[in-house]
Each structure stands twice: as C-alpha cells, then as structure tokens.
Structure 1
Amino acid sequence: MTQARSRRDAVFPPGRQALYEKHRYSAAIRSGDLLFVSGQVGSREDGSPEPEFEAQVARAFARLAAVLEAAGCTFDDVVDVTTFHTDPAAQFDTVMRVRDTVIGAAPYPNWTAVGVTWLAGFDFEIKVIARIPGGH
C-alpha cells in the first residue's frame, strides 16, 4: 500500500516572498492546527542585516509577527520558541527587553536559547511553533 504524500501548506507574510524564494525556504508551514515558523532575523527590506543589535532583535520579532499574522496567529498562540545568539551573555538583557514588549504575561511559551558562531551576518534569530486558532 502506497501512502499519499501530503503537500506543504506554506505561509508567507505580504511583501517578503521574493526573499524566501531566493533562499529556497518557506516562512512557515501549516500542518493541522500547528504552525512551524522558520527562523526570522532582523533584516532590512533588502534582506541585509540591521547593524544595531537592539533594532535587529526588534526587526526579527516584527518579521515573526508578520508571519504569525499571515497564518491568523498572534504571539498568544506561540507554544514553543527557539532563539539563536552569537554572544548570549552580552545579548541577553537586550533580547529580554525586546521580548518583554512582545510576548506578554505568563504563562509563557517554552523557550530554548542556543549560542551559535554563525548566523549569516546576523546576531539573533528566532523560530517558533504556534497553535493555529480554530484548528485550521
């Protein structure tokens, strides 16, 4: 018996699909009532890194918000977060300051922070899994 292969249900925020196509990945994939969001970075409109760290983090969260919105979600629907940091000890306070303006009150989503040595010119990246309201 051959099992049918399911198609990926890709989600893209308005105005950014060309950058995702250039790098050959989807902003997010909807699977059942879950949304798996690719890592979002603090890029300028042309895709280049925002040089100032706090602004880069804020842009990454804004990019994430746009992907969530394109799928009918908000930060309240996020259940799991993974962040990547090029210098976690030096960046932690800044990331938490920006995070606190976006994530909201407890209960908080799961969160895993990972120190890395390379993020393609960026210093921060965030990816999430969210539950899609209404299960679709």
Structure 2
Amino acid sequence: MTRFSIHTPNAAPPAGPYSQAIRAGDLVFVSGQLPLDPEGFLVGAGDIRAQTRQVFANIEAILRAAGSSLDRVVKTTVFLTNLDDFAGMNDVYASVFKQPYPARSTVETGRLPGGMLLEVECVAQVERTAP
C-alpha cells in the first residue's frame, strides 16, 4: 500500500519528526493536534473551548489538504490534561461534528507542554478522487 505525508501551512507545524498526517489508501491518519496556530503559538491559554476550536481548525486544514473533511472523520482520540475540562471540550466537539458522530475515545493524560489543555488525533476517509 502506498502512503504519503500530508502537510499544510494552514495548520500548526509538527513539533518533531512526524507528519501532520499520513494518507494510506482511502484513509488519512491525522497526528495529534495541539492548540497552536499555524505559526506555532498557543491559542487560548487556560480556555478549553478556545483551545478545542483551534485544534479542530488545524484538523480541518490538514484534512482538506488530504482530500477529506470533518464530515468524513470516523474515529477521534481526545487527550485532556484534566477531565474537569470534558464538558467544555465536548460542547465544541458537538458543534464540529454532525450525527452520526465519529467513534471516540477520551482519556486524561498526565500533561502536555506549554499550557496546552488537550490534544486530538483522528482517522478519516478520503474522497476516492483525491490525489
């Protein structure tokens, strides 16, 4: 199976040796996205809703670059530094996706760098005509 890296300047750049996403066949695997703007600066310090919106803006840009969209997401994994932020994250999440919602796992993690409250990764289908 052929696989290739997806990169867009419209989302936060990778902070290490990994791709924003990998396309493999008809699936795109989006790496964990943080609440960083395309220049790599934290958005919404201390505000779970603002950080969640930025994370999904990054995911949307990466999916678009891969020939997909938020409507084609089939699975997400949400990492929260504090499960007390679940309701705020979930409010934004519910505004991003429509039914049927993607499958999802949500876990509390020890910590993330630089005041980041969450990280989200996902898997989506791509259009068959996408490059």
Q: Establish whether TM, by shorter chain, passes 0.5.
A: yes
Residues 33 and 135 in structure 1, CA contact (< 8 A), matched pair in contact too? no
Residue 43 of structure 1: aligned partner: 36
Residue 56 of structure 2: aligned partner: 61
Does structure 1 residue 120 correspond to structure 2 residue 120? no
5+ residue gaps, structure 1:
1-5
For 1:1-136, what aligned pairs fall within 5 Å after superposition? Answer: 8-16=3-11, 19-20=13-14, 23-50=16-43, 51=45, 52-88=47-83, 90-104=84-98, 106-121=99-114, 122-134=116-128, 136=130
User: What percentage of aligned pairs have identical amino acids?
Assistant: 33
Looking at structure 2, the residues matched to 13 and 127 of structure 1 have their Cα atoms a distance apart, in angstroms, of 16
What's the TM-score, normalizing by structure 2?
0.87
Paired residues, number: 127
CA RMSD for the aligned pairs?
Answer: 1.9
Structure 1 residue 7, shift from structure 2 partner: 6.3
Query: Relative to total residues, which structure has the larger helix share, 1 or 2?
Result: 1
Which amino acid in structure 2 is aligned with residue 99 of structure 1?
Y
5+ residue gaps, structure 2:
none
Find the residue that maps to 2:128 and give its secondary structure. helix
What's the TM-score, normalizing by structure 1?
0.84
Looking at structure 2, the residues matched to 114 and 135 of structure 1 have their Cα atoms a distance apart, in angstroms, of 35
Find the residue that maps to 1:134 and give its secondary structure. coil
Looking at structure 2, the residues matched to 8 and 74 of structure 1 have their Cα atoms a distance apart, in angstroms, of 19
